[in-house]
Structure 1
Amino acid sequence: MFPERFSNLPAYAFPRLRALLDVHAPGGEVIHMTIGEPKHAFPPWIAAILASNVDGFNRYPPNDGTPELRAAIAAWIARRYGVNVDADSQIMPLNGTREGLYNAAMALCPEVKHGQTPAVLTPNPFYQVYMVAAISVGAEPIMVPATAATDHLPDYGALPEEVLDRTALVYICSPANPQGAIASEAYWETLIALAERHDFQILADECYSEIYRDAPPPGALQVARRMGAHPERVVIFHSLSKRSNLPGLRSGFVAGGPESIKRIKQLRAYSGAPLPLPLQKVAEAVWADEDHVIENRALYAEKYAMADRIFGNVPGYMPPQAGFFLWLPVEDGEAAALKLWQETGVRVLPGAYLSRDTGTDTGMGNPGKPFIRVAMVAPKDETEKGLIRIRDCLYGQE
């Protein structure tokens, strides 16, 4: 009755976490550090924009987004990456990046490649929509370890030639969720050259790109243009959720070559839902403003410094380069999460819930098992309290 390809999907991370923790009482005042849902204030002027455009709720929004929103996004890409894209043919606004990351596979993945089942490569650990998108289109999802041995980014070039030859799509997240690693220009150059050689597309999930310590992370489209790569080679995804503390707005965009965007737009015309007009007006204004982004980044800089101070003496602590997660080493992530909950009331996510077992042939097992993911999204005082409890409970250091 139901498609077999979905029968072996692991439970989604957060229902698994509730099943692990909620049968036990918390050991203290509850502090939520599981979901990457930003809690900093969004720009206060948003309310006035929304109110002045509320009559737009009685109209169907354009499938491709308003010209004004697409123009604002194109202008932001030009400012941020120095890349000019055509607002009409190379950009489509999204209901958040998850919609786009899933539908890109539906629109772009071929049914066969060189007469074989296509492969879709993802990092491991990974954002779970990557795997489900691959399964949905009948491709083979291949999880490639992103561990300390590879600077917490997947080494796709290490895969066998026969796998690369049938690869259709490659997902890559930079800055990485959950490790906070940044793909350097050299990393992008290597991956784009590999994609050119084996003729696959890169789906670059860059939704954490505006939260970083020092220099802004380089972008995939930026490097691809400089290299003169095929115009359809790279498709990028961005969101206002993290950049502007607007996860409930559900607003992002996809940008890439005109043929790729044409296919994604066509799929949405049949099966998607464009952003309501009042929310598009908000997004248009938010993409045009950088002051609130700078202020937001300063708040995260304080949290980076706080985490470094609290965990600096913990063996194996890896300061994140970007994003707002800590990827903390433990013996067993599930056991550590349960201990924290029962003894302190702090909720964190076991790393194994964000990754899959790679099998005994690799000798690695589940690369996320010896980690917990900690979201530093709450206000500074609450975040500090939670981090100190984690340190004292799991590492016995003060």
Structure 2
Amino acid sequence: MFEKYPFEKLNELLENISHPNEVISLTIGEPQFETPEFIQKELCKNAKFLNKYAKTSGEEVLKKSQRDFVKRRFNVELDKDELIPTFGTREVLFNFPLFLRPSKTAFPNPFYQIYEGAAIAAGSKINYLELNEKNNFKPSLNQLDGDEDFIILNSPNNPTASVMSLDELCEWVEYALKKDVVVLNDECYSEIYTNNPPPSILEASIKIGNKNFKNVLAINSISKRSSAPGLRSGFIAGDKRILKDYLNFRTYTGCAIPLPLQYAAKLAWDDEKYPAIFREEYKKNFERAEKILGIEIPEATFYIWLKVGDDIDFTKEAYKRGVKVLPGRYMGRNGAGEGYVRIALVYDEEKTKKALNILKEIL
């Protein structure tokens, strides 16, 4: 029913390959910088609330903090019923299609594998929108079959690091209205950028006059921006008609966020100091990669989508020398991603330089 997860495939590929005692893993998009201390302290301070059940709808203190973030970052003012806090975004990416029950789903290819798993679980047909050099690793409307009723976008993109412009996002919003299709943009990497802040599909919706976000949704998370993936704090925002029924659905899913996590997450969503610090560290890593590998610095994310020839052979050779990367084909279907590897630059300067120099030797 489900494909093996990319990391399971990777472990099988590398299982019998000899390697150094120390291996630098550049495979998982997990920030390696310490979660800011004030967030940790707030979590500990509120541990006493573990004796209480949390509401599925979330505490107002967290919801207000998330709405304030959207206003501050994207200049989009949300009503109270236009945002739902979620237990990270992985769970919402999986259970939202179960709620929506689309007959056909489209999403970029290669992709974050939860998109496919959710479509399969929901009994939805799939249109894989191939990302390649010719389309600058961005999906386009002409790739659609026309009978999709749910579209997932992912900008900034994992794994290719491409970013859609505001005008490009506007085209998708216009299509959502014209065809009465639900369009969701996964914006989890919106806060990891090198120069210009990437736009939100909520901004695009406002720009074309769709001020009530009809058929338009965005999700986001503090996992990357606050180096706090274990805090599991995200949100889904947009069309209140859809969110009203989805919130009712969520009462059955058991995804209520523990209160100590909500209070700590509230501070993380309010914070802009540490996200700026982390952004600068990731930017420096890109600059190191530019110098060592000769790559062009991406606009956002902390990924390099590196063209290597045979991605399987490259991955094996890198592992033999002490660096773990993810073959692009493991994130794609129908040949998408072949010839590339995804590299997550999530470490400090010393480890990053060491890993990049090893990869340079192989190239």
TM-score (norm 1): 0.88
Supply the distance in 1 between the matched residues of 2:126 and 2:297 (Cα, whole angstroms): 30
Asked if structure 1 preserves the Cα contact closer than 8 Å seen for 2:167 and 2:204, the reply is no
Q: How far did residue 51 of structure 1 move?
A: 2.0
Which whole-Å deviations, capped at 9, do the CAs of 1:358-392 have from their partners, x for residues lacking one? xxxxxxxx121100111101112101110110011
Residue 334 of structure 1 is matched in structure 2 by 312
TM-score (norm 2): 0.97
Asked if structure 2 preserves the Cα contact closer than 8 Å seen for 1:103 and 1:264, the reply is no
Q: Quick check: 1:141 aligned with 2:122?
A: no
Residue 14 of structure 1 is matched in structure 2 by 7
Q: How far did residue 68 of structure 1 move?
A: 0.6
Asked if structure 2 preserves the Cα contact closer than 8 Å seen for 1:179 and 1:326, the reply is yes
Aligned length: 362
Which whole-Å deviations, capped at 9, do the CAs of 1:303-352 have from their partners, x for residues lacking one? 1111111111xxxx44322101111101111111011112x110000000
Q: Spell out the pairing of 1:1-398 with structure 2 (5 A cutoff).
A: 6=1, 9-27=2-20, 29-87=22-80, 89-110=81-102, 118-159=103-144, 163-164=145-146, 166-229=147-210, 231-312=213-294, 317-342=295-320, 344-357=321-334, 366-393=335-362, 395=363
Supply the distance in 1 between the matched residues of 2:299 and 2:17 (Cα, whole angstroms): 34
- Given residue 322 of structure 2, which amino acid in structure 1 is its aligned partner? G
RMSD of equivalent CA atoms: 1.3
SS at match of 1:242: coil
Asked if structure 2 preserves the Cα contact closer than 8 Å seen for 1:126 and 1:355, the reply is yes
Supply the distance in 1 between the matched residues of 2:83 and 2:271 (Cα, whole angstroms): 19
Q: How far did residue 29 of structure 1 move?
A: 3.0
Supply the distance in 2 between the matched residues of 1:339 and 1:327 (Cα, whole angstroms): 17
The structure 1 segments of at least 4 consecutive aligned residues displaced by more than 3 Å after TM superposition are none
Which whole-Å deviations, capped at 9, do the CAs of 1:65-93 have from their partners, x for residues lacking one? 10110010011100111111112x11111
Supply the distance in 2 between the matched residues of 1:96 and 1:156 (Cα, whole angstroms): 29
Which whole-Å deviations, capped at 9, do the CAs of 1:211-231 have from their partners, x for residues lacking one? 111110011011111212362
Asked if structure 1 preserves the Cα contact closer than 8 Å seen for 2:101 and 2:122, the reply is yes
- Gaps in structure 1 of 5+ consecutive residues: 1-5, 111-117, 358-365
- Given residue 266 of structure 2, which amino acid in structure 1 is its aligned partner? E
Asked if structure 1 preserves the Cα contact closer than 8 Å seen for 2:166 and 2:203, the reply is no
Q: How far did residue 27 of structure 1 move?
A: 4.2
Supply the distance in 1 between the matched residues of 2:262 and 2:315 (Cα, whole angstroms): 39
Q: How far did residue 28 of structure 1 move?
A: 6.1
- Given residue 173 of structure 1, which amino acid in structure 2 is its aligned partner? N
